[in-house]
Amino acid sequence: MKSKLGLFFVLFTALVAVFAGAITVSALEQVDIKEMTVYVDGELTWYGYCTYNGIRIAPNHELPYIDGGRGWECESIQYSIPSIERDEVLPVKVVFTPQESHDEVVVKSWINGYREDIEDETARFDMFKDYTYNKYLYLDIPSDIDAKERYTLYVEIHDSEVFEGVFKAQIDLQVQKISNVLDIKSVEFYAGRDICGCYKEQISKGICGECYVDFEAGSTLYADVVVKNMGSQTQKDVYITMSVAGECIERTVYLGDLNAGETEKVTLYIILPDQAGTYEIEVETFNDDVSAKIEQTLTVAESEADVSIILEQTRNNVVQGGSAVYSVYVANTGSAETFIVSVEGTSGWATAQVNPVTFTLGEGQSKLVNIYLNVNEEALAAEHQFTVKVSYGGEVKSYNFSANVTETPGLELKYLLLIIGIVLAVAILVLLILLLTSKNGKSRIEKPEEEYSYY
Give every CB contact of residue 411 below 8 A, 6+ residues apart in sequence: none
- Is CATH 3.20.20.370 correct for 182-301? no
Q: Count CB neighbours of 209 within 10 A.
A: 14
SS3 429: helix
Residue 398: predicted pLDDT = 85
**Do residues 95 and 134 touch, judged by C-beta distance below 8 A?**
yes
Show the beta-strand stretches assigned E in 123-181.
125-127, 133-140, 151-158, 168-175
Q: Which helix (H) or strand (E) holds 234?
A: none
The segments of the chain whose pLDDT lies below 50 read 1-27, 193, 200-207, 411, 443-448, 450-455
Task: Report the relative pairing of strands 151-158 and 168-175 from DSSP bridges.
Answer: antiparallel
SS3 410: coil
Residue 367: predicted pLDDT = 93
Distance CA(323)–CA(373), nearest Å, equals 5
Longest dimension (CA), the chain: 193
Give every CB contact of residue 251 below 8 A, 6+ residues apart in sequence: 241, 242, 243, 268, 269, 270, 385, 400
Q: Which helix (H) or strand (E) holds 200?
A: helix 200-203
**Do residues 346 and 385 touch, judged by C-beta distance below 8 A?**
no
Q: Count CB neighbours of 244 within 10 A.
A: 19
Residue 28: predicted pLDDT = 57
Residue 11: predicted pLDDT = 39
* Strand partners for 293: 284
Residue 68: predicted pLDDT = 60
- The domain ranges of the chain are 26-175, 182-301, 307-406
Q: Which helix (H) or strand (E) holds 31?
A: none
Residue 67: predicted pLDDT = 62
Instruction: Identify the CATH homologous superfamily for domain 307-406.
Output: Immunoglobulins (2.60.40.10)
Smallest Cα–Cα separation from 259: which of 285, 289, 292, 233? 233
Residue 182: predicted pLDDT = 86
Fold: same for 26-175 and 307-406: yes
Q: What is the pLDDT of residues 36-61, one digit of tens each?
A: 999 999 999 999 999 888 788 777 66
Q: What is the pLDDT of residues 184-234, one digit of tens each?
A: 888 888 875 456 665 544 444 444 556 666 787 877 888 889 998 877 788
Residue 198: predicted pLDDT = 59
Which amino acid, 160? S
pTM of the model: 0.43
**Do residues 247 and 273 touch, judged by C-beta distance below 8 A?**
yes
User: What is the residue-averaged pLDDT of the chain?
Assistant: 81
CATH number for region 26-175? 2.60.40.10
**Omega of the bond prior to 409 within 30 degrees of 0, cis?**
no
Q: What is the pLDDT of residues 267-306, one digit of tens each?
A: 888 888 888 888 999 999 999 988 988 888 888 887 766 8
